[in-house]
Structure formats: C-alpha cells, structure tokens
C-alpha cells in the first residue's frame, strides 16, 4: 500500500518536472516562423507543415475585415507557381498552397498604413488526387503556433472552398499581376 502511494507521488512529481522540458522544446513558439518544430499532422487530412514554405513565392495578398481583421499572404511551392504562370487547371499533384495570416494593425509610424501584427494562423492545401480523392484532390491543414487546430475546424475547409470556387479547382486566390 505504502509503496504504491510513493509510486504515485513519484509519478506526479515526474509529470510536474517534465512540464518545463515540454514547454522548452520550441513547440510553443509563436508566429509564422515556427515551421520546422511541428511534427503533428492535421486531423482528417494528415497534412503537416512543409519545410521551407516561408521561402515560397507570393501569389497574392488578401485582407479580411471585421471580425477577424487580418492581413494575409498566399504563397505557393514551385509546382503551384508553374501552374499559375501557365494557367494549368486543375492544379497538378504536388501543388501546395499556403495562406499566412496576421492581425491587421495600424502603423505606429504612419497612420494611414496597415502593418501585420501577431501571426494568427498558417494554412495549407496539398494536392494529391489519389490520397485526397474524396475531398476534390485537396488535403487541408490549419496551424496555430505550429500545431494543428481541432477536427471541428477542419470539417469547415472543404465546404466553403467547394461551395464558392468549384470551377477554379477549389482555390480562391488568383495571381496578383
Ligand atoms: C468560410 C469560407 C472558408 C473556410 C471555412 C475556409 N476557407 Fe480557406 N479560403 C477562403 C477564402 C475566401 C480564401 C481566399 C484568401 C482570403 O481571402 O483570405 C481562402 C484561401 C485559402 C488558402 C489559399 C488558397 C486559396 O484557395 O486561395 C488556403 C491554403 C486555405 N484557404 C486553407 C483553408 C483551410 C486549411 C481551411 C480549414 C481549416 C479553410 N481554408 C477554410 C475561405 C475559406
């Protein structure tokens, strides 16, 4: 009995002591630059954060008003950029699109200007016509601080993209000329 209790106390202590190490591994890091720490995959689709996405080319910026008030940038990997410049539809397998988003903040240095505040989400759409045949060929992933958001949020992705941009391979963003 007594040794069982000591065992319990030891286990509780070990759990408490382990917390700082979990927090210190960088997974709680904020912002869009936390890409390489995320090993976790999105629910439903199993999309992970691809290496080097922060270096991808810009397709277009976007802004959304209240209540989110965000500034966004949609980037694509090389396959995506080639498809955009050649006007290829549907997008070929291997295409990855990402949308980075930040809070929309007024510049403290020049009032009429807006600047990005804190990063909010990083989202991905990965094209694989076999693996994702039941969702129009696309896998979806939304990440906050490098970690995927819950399944409920991932249930919304396909519906909105499919309802509004079915004739553009479920992709909203057009090339900003
Ligand atoms: C209510 C509608 C809606 C929902 C739900 C939604 N999106 Fe989008 N998404 C958009 C719009 C509109 C854009 C175009 C860019 C913008 O205005 O921000 C977009 C753009 C994107 C892009 C850039 C490629 C493109 O289509 O332009 C990605 C990647 C993306 N969304 C991922 C996701 C993921 C992942 C989810 C689910 C977690 C999701 N979206 C849910 C409306 C939606």
What is the largest distance, in Å, between two alpha-carbon atoms of the chain?
74
Taking the C-alpha atoms of residue 104 and residue 96, their distance in angstroms, rounded to an integer, is 25
Instruction: Supply the Cα-derived Rg of the chain in whole angstroms.
Output: 20
Ligand 1 pocket, residue 127 CB under 6 Å: no
Region 39-58 average pLDDT: 96
pLDDT band at 39 (very low <50, low <70, confident <90, very high): low
Q: Are 70 and 100 in contact (CB under 8 A)?
A: no
Which candidate, 142, 144, 145, places its Cα nearest to that of 154?
Answer: 142
In terms of C-beta distances under 8 Å and separation of at least 24 residues, what long-range contacts does 45-49 make, across chains too? 45/126, 45/132, 45/135, 45/139, 45/140, 45/141, 45/154, 46/139, 47/124, 47/126, 47/139, 47/140, 47/141, 47/148, 48/141, 49/122, 49/124, 49/141, 49/143, 49/146
User: How many angstroms is it from 85 CA to the middle of ligand 1?
Assistant: 21
Q: Which atom of ligand 1 is nearest to the CA of 101?
A: 18
Ligand 1 pocket, residue 42 CB under 6 Å: no
Taking the C-alpha atoms of residue 6 and residue 137, their distance in angstroms, rounded to an integer, is 54
Region 80-106 average pLDDT: 98
Ligand 1 pocket, residue 125 CB under 6 Å: yes
Which candidate, 81, 148, 103, 147, places its Cα nearest to that of 139?
Answer: 148
Taken in order 65, 71, 127, 167, the sign of the CA dihedral is positive
Closest residue (by CA) to atom 26 of ligand 1? 171
Fold of 2-168: Chalcone isomerase (3.50.70)
What is this structure's pTM? 0.83
Q: What percent of the chain has pLDDT over 90?
A: 77
Taking the C-alpha atoms of residue 123 and residue 167, their distance in angstroms, rounded to an integer, is 21
pLDDT at 81 over 70: yes
Residue 15's pLDDT is 46
pLDDT at 11 over 90: no
Region 87-99 average pLDDT: 98
Please, what is the average pLDDT of the chain? 86
Residue 14's pLDDT is 46
């Amino acid at each position: 009995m007594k040794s069982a209790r000591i065992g319990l106390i030891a286990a509780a202590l070990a759990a408490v002591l382990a917390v700082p190490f979990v927090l210190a591994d960088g997974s709680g890091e904020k912002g869009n630059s936390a890409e390489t720490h995320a090993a976790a995959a999105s629910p439903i689709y199993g999309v992970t954060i691809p290496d080097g996405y922060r270096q991808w080319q810009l397709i277009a910026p976007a802004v959304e008003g209240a209540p989110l008030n965000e500034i966004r940038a949609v980037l694509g990997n090389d396959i995506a950029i080639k498809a955009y410049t050649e006007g290829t539809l549907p997008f070929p397998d291997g295409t990855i699109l990402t949308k980075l988003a930040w809070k929309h903040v007024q510049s403290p240095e020049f009032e009429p200007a807006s600047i990005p505040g804190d990063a909010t989400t990083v989202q991905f759409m990965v094209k694989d016509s076999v693996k994702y045949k039941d969702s129009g060929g696309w896998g979806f992933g939304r990440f906050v601080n490098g970690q995927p958001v819950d399944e409920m949020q991932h249930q919304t992705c396909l519906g909105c993209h499919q309802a509004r941009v079915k004739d553009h391979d479920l992709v909203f963003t057009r090339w900003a000329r």
